[in-house]
Amino acid sequence: MDAKPNLSPHVPRLELITKSGCHLCDDARTVVDGVAAGLGLVWAEVSIEGDPELANRYGEEIPVILVDGVQRDFWHIDPVRLRTILSNSMAAPGA
């Protein structure tokens, strides 16, 4: 018997890596919230504060966007680029 293909769309995991007192993070929150809402996605914010590993990895690039665990953008988050990345991820077969 042939297995039916998974017709459910891929729901990308969207994370915004931030720290307090970061004006670029404030801007990024607005962009991420608008793009995610437009695509019907939820997103999570993760602070580097209190996490030495995250601080070491992303401390100089804050804010950082991760899609499915892969860094996709940093500093100034471009809404068109983010929407494109997420839309492509959602449309990818077998993702």
Tens digit of each residue's pLDDT (9 = 90 or more) over 7-23: 677 899 999 999 999 99
Domain count, the chain: 1
| Inside any domain, residue 2 | no
| Inside any domain, residue 8 | no
| Inside any domain, residue 33 | yes
DSSP notation for 24-74: HHHHHHHHHHHHHHHHT--EEEEE-TT-HHHHHHHTTT-SEEEETTEEEEE
Helices 23-39 and 79-91: crossing angle, nearest 10°?
40
**Domain CATH code at residue 63:** 3.40.30.10
| Inside any domain, residue 9 | no
2 pLDDT band (50/70/90 cuts)?
low
| Inside any domain, residue 4 | no
| Inside any domain, residue 3 | no
- Owning domain of residue 65: 14-91
